[in-house]
Amino acid sequence: MNRLLVTNGAFTTLLLSAVLAEQKKDPTNSNNYLLYYLKTLNPERISFQLNFANFFFNYKKHFNLLEYQRKFSFNLTLLKNELSDIQEIYLPINSTTKKWYKLLYKIYPKASFIFYEEGLMSYIKGLYDHSLQKLLKKHSTYYLFYNATIKHLFPKEFKPINKQSLLNNIQQYQAHHPVLKNNYPTSYKYALVLPQYYFQKHKKKYKQLEDLYIYNIKLLIKNGYHILFKDHPKSTQSYYSVLQRICGKENFTLLKEIDNLPVEIIGNLIKISLVFSVYSTSLFTLPYLFNIPALTSYTMLSQRINTFSLYPALIAEFTQQYIPDLESKSLKYNKLLYLYRKMLTLIYKIF
C-alpha cells in the first residue's frame, strides 16, 4: 500500500495519525510518503515539523508541494515521475482542498481520496462551501466532532475521528519526549492564552488588537490566574514581551518547550484551569479532550465578524455560538477596565 499523506502543520499531522488509527491501519506498516506545504515557516521549524510527522508516519520520503509551483500553476507531473504508484491520498480540509484534489486527481485518477479536518476552517468550509461539501460526501471524510450539536450540522456521511485514538497518539508522543514534563508550580491557577496572528501587517489594527489582549489578560490576572503564553506557530510577531512588560513579568510563563507543537500535546501535563483565545481551534479541542474550560472575547470576535474577510468572520461567528465570553464570566469587574473596553469598541466602530 502506497499512501500519500498531505499535511501542513503539526496539528494536522496529529489528526491524520488518529484518522489512520481509526481506519485500523498501522501508519508504520505501509509505504508512506509525506507531501507538505509549510510556506510560512522558516527552515528550522519546517525540519521540526517533518520530524514530528515522521514520529507518527515513519514515511519513506517527503516532498515539498511548493517546489512544484510555477508562476501561475503547479507542475505535478514531476511528482508523478518520482511517485508513480499511489493507492491512497489523505488531504486536509481547508481553503485549498479543491485545488489540490483536482491537481492530484489528474496524476493519480485511480487513487482513493480520504479527507480529514485540520481545525476551525475545516468546519466553516465543510458547512458553507457547497461544492466542497459535495466532493467530501463522495469520499471518506473525517472530523473531530466536539459535541453532538456540532456533529448534527454536518452530512451523515462524515465520520468522526475517534477521541481515544487521538489521546493514545498524544500519550505516545509524550512518552517518547520527557522534555515536555517540565515542572510547573501547582500553587498557580493557570490560564493558557493562545493569541491569533492576523493583522500582523496592519500597524494600526495590530496595536488595537494588542490593547484588547492587554485588557483581557489584565482581567484574567485580576481574577487570580497565572498566564501560560504560547505564540501561534505561524505568527511572525509576538505579543509576549509587550504583554509581560505591561501586565507584570511575575504573572507570565512562556511555553518555550512546545513552541512548534500543537498545544494539545501538553493539555494533560499541566493543570490548566482555563484556555483563552479569540477563535483558536484549541478552544474546542482542549475542553473536548481534557475537560479544560474555554473562554473567548466577544469584543474581539466582533472585530472579526465586522470584516470584509468572509471566512474569518464566519469562524468568529461559529466560535461565539459555542464559547462563553471572558468578560461576562469574570467573577470580579473593574469599572475602569469596562470603560476602557467601551472606548476601544467605539474606536473600532469609527475606523
* Per-residue pLDDT reduced to its tens digit, 108-143: 999 999 999 999 999 999 999 999 999 999 999 999
Whether the pLDDT of residue 347 is over 80: the answer is no
Q: Provide the 3-class DSSP secondary structure of residue 339.
A: helix
In 44-167, DSSP assigns E strands to: 61-64, 88-93, 112-117, 140-143, 159-160
The Cα-based distances of 55 to 105, 176, 209, 333 in angstroms read 28, 10, 37, 47
CA dist., res. 76 & res. 35, Å (int): 12
pLDDT for position 41: 72
pLDDT for position 312: 82
Range with top average pLDDT, 21-30, 205-214, 254-263, 295-304: 295-304
pLDDT for position 254: 81
List CB contacts of 256: < 8 A, sequence separation 6 or more.
none
CA dist., res. 217 & res. 223, Å (int): 10
How far is the first Cα of the chain from the last one, in angstroms, to the nearest whole number?
56
* Per-residue pLDDT reduced to its tens digit, 11-63: 999 999 999 987 765 555 579 999 998 876 788 888 999 999 999 999 999 99
Contact 45, 75 (CB under 8 A): no
* % of the chain exceeding 90 in pLDDT: 51
* 3-state helix vs strand vs coil in the chain, percent to 5: 50, 15, 35
pLDDT for position 337: 42
Q: Does domain 2-176 have CATH number 3.40.50?
A: yes
Q: Does domain 192-350 have CATH number 3.40.50?
A: yes
List CB contacts of 16: < 8 A, sequence separation 6 or more.
5, 7, 56, 57, 90, 92, 116
Q: Is this prediction's pTM over 0.85?
A: yes
Q: Which three cell numbers stand for residue 19?
A: 484518522
CA dist., res. 41 & res. 47, Å (int): 10
CA dist., res. 109 & res. 331, Å (int): 58
The Cα-based distances of 92 to 51, 72, 238 in angstroms read 19, 23, 27
Q: For all residues of the chain together, what is the average pLDDT?
A: 84
pLDDT for position 334: 43
Q: DSSP assignment, residue 112?
A: E
Contact 109, 87 (CB under 8 A): no
Whether the pLDDT of residue 184 is over 80: the answer is no
Topology agreement, domain 2-176 and domain 192-350: yes
Contact 9, 161 (CB under 8 A): no
pLDDT for position 237: 63
Range in 92-96, 132-136, 175-179, 338-342 with the lowest mean pLDDT: 338-342
Q: Which three cell numbers stand for residue 97?
A: 482542498
Q: Provide the 3-class DSSP secondary structure of residue 44.
A: helix
- Domain residue limits, the chain: 2-176, 192-350
CA dist., res. 61 & res. 86, Å (int): 13
**78-95 as b/e, with b when 16 or more CB fall inside 10 Å?**
ebeeebeebebbbbbbbe
Sign of CA dihedral 288, 289, 295, 296: negative
* Per-residue pLDDT reduced to its tens digit, 226-246: 999 887 666 556 777 778 788
* Backbone torsion region of residue 343, taken as left when φ is above 0, otherwise alpha when ψ lies between -120 and 50, otherwise beta: alpha
pLDDT for position 122: 95
